[in-house]
Amino acid sequence: MELVFKKEGERTYSTTVKREDGVTLLVKGAGRPLHLPHDLAHFVVESEFKLQYGFWGRVAAGVEFSGMQILAGRRKPHAAERAKAVRAQAGQQGIQAEVLVGVMLKIAENGLRIEMAQRMLEESWKPLKSAREEVSEEEITSVCRRLQEAEKQWLALPVGGGIKVDWVSQASRKRR
């Protein structure tokens, strides 16, 4: 799935999504970011942690959220039923993705020591069954570096510019 994060104004953005099913969506930006857009942070964190059903994984699997607009293409037959099944299968991973994005942004912005970062993650998310194992020091460092790189790239963009990335779903990774 191709994502283009476009800087609409100094503090506004949108994302154009070209899914593998042929549907192109427009996602209006969440909030008014001073730095890194929330949806771009989701891309970085979810791809680094290989979350199958975070926000972008669910979108890739056919889930559409309120506020999304179809720009081109048509949903396949039974798309609504498949999206409902994905939502059920995703369970708490969407919530976990939100928590991870929020905590990882705090860690990246504040340059916290690894011990403090791991404690923040442990205290922020305690599900009965996690979608993934404990976060390692290497993962924290890698995600923070990628968030900081994405923020620099975003801040350097002129209004009207965009960042194009590819979301690779876990199912696609397994097929490779």
In this predicted structure, the answer to whether residue 131 has a pLDDT above a threshold of 60 is no
In this predicted structure, the answer to whether residue 45 has a pLDDT above a threshold of 60 is yes
The mean pLDDT value for 150-166 works out to 96
Q: By C-alpha distance, which of 127, 67, 68, 70 is closest to 96?
A: 127
13 versus 114: which is more confidently predicted? 13
pLDDT tens, residue by residue, 49-100? 898 889 999 999 888 888 899 999 988 877 778 877 877 777 777 888 888 8
Prediction pTM value: 0.85
| Burial readout 132-143 (b: 16 or more C-beta within 10 A, e: otherwise) | eeebeeebbeeb
Q: How many CB atoms lie within 10 A of CB 67?
A: 9
In this predicted structure, the answer to whether residue 126 has a pLDDT above a threshold of 70 is no
In this predicted structure, the answer to whether residue 25 has a pLDDT above a threshold of 80 is yes
pLDDT of residue 42: 94
- In percent, the amount of the chain with pLDDT more than 70 equals 90
Q: What secondary structure letter does DSSP report for 39?
A: H
pLDDT of residue 175: 47
In this predicted structure, the answer to whether residue 173 has a pLDDT above a threshold of 90 is no
pLDDT of residue 147: 93
Q: How many CB atoms lie within 10 A of CB 126?
A: 8
The mean pLDDT value for 128-140 works out to 69
